[in-house]
Structure 1
Amino acid sequence: MEKAGSPLEQVRSSIAQACKRARREPGDITLVAVSKRHTAATIEPLLIEGHRHFGENRVQEAAEKWPALREAHPAVQLHLVGQLQSNKAEEAAALFDVIHSLDRPSLVKALAKAFDKTGRRVPCFVQVDVGDEPQKGGCPVSDLPALLTQARESDIPLAGLMCLPPAEIEPAPFFAFLDKLARDHGLEGRSMGMSGDYETAIMLGATHVRVGTALFGERPS
């Protein structure tokens, strides 16, 4: 049972309110608690409250931290929300349940090979560079149709699209753009929105919100 006033309860309440305004159902939103750089002791209270979707940025950190936690909480769904190097594809395929950062042809090839080898076909969001910021990763918008075709031909399960809008700019137009891209390409999932803007993202079609600071506080440096 959730503790009254806990950060998790507060975020869930905010999600419910945003859904009410958008005439959506809270159950249609997956809250991914981004636990990067947080210790198992910090994560444990959310697990005790019943939360099961968690996000990590790095394969190595997740590999060190999550096996013991998942042994105690086997229903956990682990999401890779950071950029993925092709040489880590096999490890990611074995460890994660959802990948949010498929963004280039070489990674499609690496993941297809990893999925064949591990026997796991992990749903993937294609990360789109909606703000024309190559340093963040993400598929250029002009390359998206070809990348989606390649992924489908490689039997990569496509969960939807993901974006990271530019910092310190109103995110709503970027969320609306990702929503349109997803509709245009027949994709159901929209992974968008973080601690400061997840309510806006829900209003504009998000199905997965990636929330860290609002749940765990500031990350250790």
Structure 2
Amino acid sequence: METSSARHDELEHNLAKVRRRIADAARAAGRTPEDVHLVVVTKTYPASDVVALADLGVTDVGENRHPEAARKREESGAAGAALTWHFVGGLQTNKAAAVARYADVVHSVDRPRLVDALDRGAQAAGRRLGALVQVNLEGHDDDPQGRAGASAEEVLALADRIDATDALTLQGVMAVAPLGADPDDAFARLAEIAAQVAAAHPGATAISAGMSGDLEAAVRHGATHVRIGRSVLGERPLLG
């Protein structure tokens, strides 16, 4: 699977810029740049981009949709097999078992039924699966325009449920900053919730937060994983 030299150069240039942003943000926050992991979200981009990213030193990629994610992991061959695959999108319970067969980490665990379905799927596949509790920072569960995720009051119980499973490993929390809101306020709240989870489950220290437009704010408030698509890969292809 070949990538044109122009595309390879574009990805290399964009990656360098994003890595500088992460490093600058980490140093400004008094943190070590190596403590912030870059997850490149490859949704809608071809498997050839995944192969090129692996060649450029990327270790983690993210996908939002099944079965696109499964197909892309297969198509990217040995390069894809060496990567850590993060499922970062909303996940229907009836697709959980399929996702558990190829994802390494699921960031969007937001309800008990999904915990149970992922656990069953991972057990059936003979795998362990990392899991993060997705937190709704908007607080409007009945708002159809609101973000997905568990309410702040539900997070600890959901974390306990993940920790009690046989095949899931609780890694921490994930959130998306509310549209139009100050990301600093949102990520400060997420940091508080993350601290509560880590106090109850000392191994669950991951904070997945920050995208192309707000990664600096996320890093400022302790993000350990930033999920970047557009700033690395460019504008998303138009879907027919």
TM-score with structure 2 setting the length: 0.86
Corresponding residue for residue 208 of structure 1: 225
Q: In the aligned structure 2, how far is the partner of 1:165 from the partner of 1:40?
A: 28
Q: In the aligned structure 2, how far is the partner of 1:116 from the partner of 1:184?
A: 28
Q: In the aligned structure 2, how far is the partner of 1:192 from the partner of 1:180?
A: 13
* Structure 1 residue 145, shift from structure 2 partner: 2.1
Three-state SS of the structure 2 residue aligned to 1:6 is helix
* Structure 1 residue 73, shift from structure 2 partner: 4.4
* Structure 1 residue 133, shift from structure 2 partner: 4.4
- Aligned residues: CA RMSD: 1.8
Alignment equivalent of 1:138, drawn from 149, 162, 166: 149
Corresponding residue for residue 34 of structure 1: 41
Tell whether the 8 Å contact from 1:70 to 1:76 is kept in structure 2 after alignment: no
Tell whether the 8 Å contact from 2:73 to 2:80 is kept in structure 1 after alignment: no
Corresponding residue for residue 175 of structure 1: 187
How big is each residue's C-alpha offset from its partner over 1:170-216, in whole Å with a ceiling of 9 and x where there is no partner?
11111111111111121301000000011110011000000001001
Tell whether the 8 Å contact from 2:21 to 2:216 is kept in structure 1 after alignment: yes
Alignment equivalent of 2:84, drawn from 77, 80, 84: 77
Corresponding residue for residue 61 of structure 1: 68
Alignment equivalent of 1:160, drawn from 153, 172, 182: 172
Three-state SS of the structure 1 residue aligned to 2:81 is coil
Q: What count of residue pairs does the alignment treat as equivalent?
A: 220
Deviates more, 1:140-149 or 1:37-46: 37-46
Tell whether the 8 Å contact from 2:62 to 2:85 is kept in structure 1 after alignment: yes
How big is each residue's C-alpha offset from its partner over 1:19-66, in whole Å with a ceiling of 9 and x where there is no partner?
111111111111000010111233343222121210000120011222
Instruction: Say whether 1:193 aligns with 2:193.
Output: no
Q: In the aligned structure 1, how far is the partner of 2:49 from the partner of 2:87?
A: 19
Three-state SS of the structure 1 residue aligned to 2:58 is coil
Letter paired with 2:55: I
Corresponding residue for residue 3 of structure 2: none
Deviates more, 1:89-98 or 1:148-157: 148-157
* Structure 1 residue 140, shift from structure 2 partner: 1.3
Letter paired with 1:140: S
